[in-house]
Amino acid sequence: MILETTEFNENTATQSSCLIIMPIYNRRHFLQQAFKSLNEQTYHQWNLVIVDDGSTDEPSEVLKALTKALDQRITYVKQANGGPGSARATGQEFQTNQQYVAFFDSDDYWLPEYLERAIDQLENIPELDWIFCPCRRVDHSSGKTLLESTFFNEETNAPLHFLSMPVKRLGDAFIFPHNHTLAMTQLKQPIHAGFQNSVIRAKISRNVAIPEYRIGEDRYFLLAAILKGYGIGYIQDVGVIYHVHDDNLSDTNRDNKDVNKLVAVQQELCRSYSDIRKLTTDKEILAEAAQQSAKIKFWLIAYNYYWRSGEIGKALSTMIGVVLAHPGEFRYVKTLLASLLRAPIAVLSSTEKARH
């Protein structure tokens, strides 16, 4: 529910070809960095809608000062808290006649040529509707680079699976052929085209609603675009600095020790997999979505989070639920039986740790 809307620089003469949607939630301390990044963009024909998702840190005064340094029109929208999916969906409502839509996460940093390079590909390649690039993952507090490119595995540094898929090169873009394989790949091994590193044609955003999830809405939105036949492609140069910090809601914050938060993140991903039935009746895609959800529930939520944190009852309950839904999966049954046998010792060990 939108509570208030404020316009900044509303008399600007700058033409807008691109709408930038930026959700914020208690990100006042990141706003100066965010506006510095926007001000450095070599592409200037944009306007910005900032969707404040129920912040309690009163960002409006900071925004008044920061917007004065820009020539572009900026809309500030305040709404009741609903999560980043809800905030981005609200941003979609402010599309007018723009040709392109970009999504800026306020705690990230776009390199200066990010927008220009992405929009140049879209302008020159008619069959391309969605262009994305790798991020560089950086620890915000120390400035240390954690991963040079999100197109590579953070543990092995091997290229991600989608880089080995057949593509057609046009300009700097590598374009996937639209087929069933691309949808299945997005389910099995996501191609890492998140909101923060993607620029799309506005027609996608007009035809596909962003779901109001707190996490996983980008994966769902991309799958919906693939299933509707839009052209997806990438460029190989890093365009975004992704900052990792304690407040990250995503599953990229590996240092988060809050089990409840970690579980909530994965449950939202499971919800997004369940909702894929709204997009397609393809049996193979739906079966794969169910398998991905089961893996998350069994191995991440039950085993990695609940069991290892000593919440043995929750772990076993979650495992049992997965086994009942997938009785033919022997690995789940085998691990559940082994866990039932080990449960008394695990409970005792957890109790001893709590005492000390």
Indicate whether 32 and 177 sit together in one domain: yes
Domain boundary among 244, 270, 292: 244
Indicate whether 204 and 101 sit together in one domain: yes
Indicate whether 78 and 151 sit together in one domain: yes
| Residue 178 CB neighbours (<10 A) | 16
Q: Is 8 part of a structural domain of the chain?
A: yes
Q: Is 252 part of a structural domain of the chain?
A: no
Indicate whether 93 and 235 sit together in one domain: yes
Report the distance separating Cα 233 and Cα 132, nearest Å.
Answer: 7
For residue 302, give its domain range: 259-355
What pLDDT score was predicted for residue 254? 43
Report the distance separating Cα 208 and Cα 274, nearest Å.
Answer: 17
Report the distance separating Cα 349 and Cα 356, nearest Å.
Answer: 11
Indicate whether 240 and 269 sit together in one domain: no
Domain boundary among 198, 221, 244: 244
pTM of the shown model = 0.88
Report the distance separating Cα 87 and Cα 26, nearest Å.
Answer: 13
Burial of 19 per CB tally in 10 Å (0-12, 13-18, 19+): buried
Residue 36: which residues within 8 A CB-CB, separation 6 or more? none
Per-residue pLDDT of the chain (356 residues; tens, 9 = 90+): 788 999 998 877 677 999 999 999 999 989 999 999 999 999 999 999 999 999 999 898 899 899 988 989 999 999 999 999 999 999 999 999 999 999 999 999 999 999 999 999 999 999 999 999 999 999 988 989 999 999 999 899 999 999 999 999 999 999 999 778 999 999 999 899 999 999 999 999 999 999 988 888 999 999 999 999 999 999 999 999 999 987 665 544 444 468 998 999 899 899 999 999 999 999 999 999 999 999 999 999 999 999 999 999 999 999 999 999 999 999 999 999 999 999 998 888 777 666 65
113 secondary structure, DSSP code:
T
319: closest CA among 338, 346, 347, 344?
Answer: 338
309: closest CA among 261, 249, 265?
Answer: 261
What pLDDT score was predicted for residue 124? 96
The H-or-E segment that residue 31 falls in is helix 31-39
